[in-house]
Amino acid sequence: MSSVTPKVITGLDVSDRYSSTYTITEEGEVVEEGRVRTTPRALEAYFAGRRRRVVLEAGPHSPWISRLLKKLNHEVIVANARMVALIHSNPKKRDPVDAETLARLGRVDPKLLYPIQHRSEEAQVDLGVVRARDAVVRARTGLINHVRGSVKSYGARIPGSSAEGFAAKAEEHVPEALRAGLEPVVEMIRALSRQIRFFDKQLEALCEERYPETGVLRQIKGVGPVTALTFCLVIEDPARFPSSRAVGAYLGLTRRHDDSGESEPELRITKAGDEFLRRLLVQSAHYILGHFGPDTDLRRWGLHYIERGGGSKTAKKKAAVAVARKLAVLLHRLWSTGEVYQPLRENQHAAAAA
């Protein structure tokens, strides 16, 4: 793709059925305003012709639209609207207005749009399998909670068990009076468990055949195939980060800043980036800090963090997020270097220095 800036800039405000367009020249003169159906055929016909810069917001349609426009040799900028107040806080927010805002910001300086890079089509498809599994797991959890709650409200209880073994336990302990309403739900839980096992086989095959780098990440106890594969699919190319430390911020695991003068309030994390991967990393952090977590530098650091916080629930929650951030950095470093993971590396260095 040529590095020469296109002489025409088009803002594209995407909606499900129709998308608004606003095209200007490098000098800011309006070329045309209009709208186009949000379909591959209509967009391909509209943007056929000379190369231009096209600016659109990140959203459900932006991955496939950006790929289509790049194939047509256009320069595509996908704006992170959450970072651009002119877009998400505009009191006159309407499709044509948003299209004009995108075009004019794209004309002045694309960096003002905090552009994002969509993953490849292959990675998007594979990540869809991981997300589908997550949706099924969450559906099963909701149904299990429904059965437990219904039985508890009747004065009985179902003994503790894994989600995988819940259906068998429920069959034995659901009161007779509740069976008509709960047996179909228990059967659905059993079917969802079978589907999750099917997904697990798919993900293991993906890890082995298409993403062998996940094996390097799974050296860390608490990082299974789902977390490792999701990390690889979301990050996609470890070389696009200047350092491993940048991954924590990319995934929204660093705190916000609102420093003014001598005031530096401790704010919540930004929660930018991929929410699903962030949740998986926090879950892994809970395992690392939990009773079954092996002795590692990461676990020792997290437990010390909790101790400094007085051992409170708040301190434990903060420690989990902090460990998740350090875990993301560690995963990126292992992926980038391919080195063998040393659980107690800092301890070994200290012993060698002594």
Helix (H), strand (E), coil (C) string for the chain: CCCCCCCEEEEEECCCCEEEEEEEECCCCEEEEEEEECCHHHHHHHCCCCCCEEEEECCCCHHHHHHHHHHCCCEEEEECHHHCHHHHCCCCCCHHHHHHHHHHHHHHCHHHHCCECCCCHHHHHHHHHHHHHHHHHHHHHHHHHHHHHHHHHCCCCCCCCCCCCHHHHHHHHCCHHHHHHHHHHHHHHHHHHHHHHHHHHHHHHHHHHCCCCHHHHCCCCCCCHHHHHHHHHHHCCHHHCCCCCHHHHHCCCCECCCCECCECCCCCECCCCCHHHHHHHHHHHHHHHCCCCCCCHHHHHHHHHHHHCCCCHHHHHHHHHHHHHHHHHHHHHHHHHCCCCCCCHHHHHHHHHC
Asked if CATH classification 3.30.420.40 holds for the domain at 8-113, the reply, yes or no, is yes
pLDDT of 259 over the 60 cut: no
**Residue pLDDT, tens place only, 34-59:** 999 999 999 999 999 889 999 999 99
pTM value is 0.84
Which of the four pLDDT bands, split at 50, 70 and 90, describes residue 81?
confident
Segment 224-250 shows an average pLDDT of: 95
pLDDT of 267 over the 80 cut: no
What is the pLDDT at residue 20? 96
Segment 342-347 shows an average pLDDT of: 84
What is the pLDDT at residue 264? 55
**Residue pLDDT, tens place only, 290-305:** 999 999 999 999 999 9
What is the pLDDT at residue 269? 84
Which of the four pLDDT bands, split at 50, 70 and 90, describes residue 258?
low
Residue spans per domain, the chain: 8-113, 122-210, 215-346
Type of residue at 104 = R
Type of residue at 140 = R
Look at 49 and 167; give whichever has higher pLDDT: 167
pLDDT of 76 over the 70 cut: yes
Segment 236-241 shows an average pLDDT of: 93
Average the pLDDT over each of 117-131, 157-171, 185-199, 249-263 and give the range with the smallest value. Answer: 249-263
What is the pLDDT at residue 80? 87
Average the pLDDT over each of 40-44, 61-65, 116-120, 207-211 and give the range with the smallest value. Answer: 116-120
Average the pLDDT over each of 79-83, 243-247, 314-318 and give the range with the smallest value. Answer: 79-83
Give percent above pLDDT 90 in the chain. 80
What is the pLDDT at residue 273? 84
What is the pLDDT at residue 351? 55
What is the pLDDT at residue 1? 46
Other Cβ atoms closer than 10 A to 225? 20
Mean pLDDT of the chain: 91
Segment 181-205 shows an average pLDDT of: 97
Instruction: Count Cβ neighbours within 10 Å for each residue of 301-327 and write b for 16 or more, e otherwise.
Output: bbbebbeeeeeeeeebebbbbbbbbbb
What is the pLDDT at residue 83? 73
pLDDT of 261 over the 60 cut: no
Which of the four pLDDT bands, split at 50, 70 and 90, describes residue 262?
low
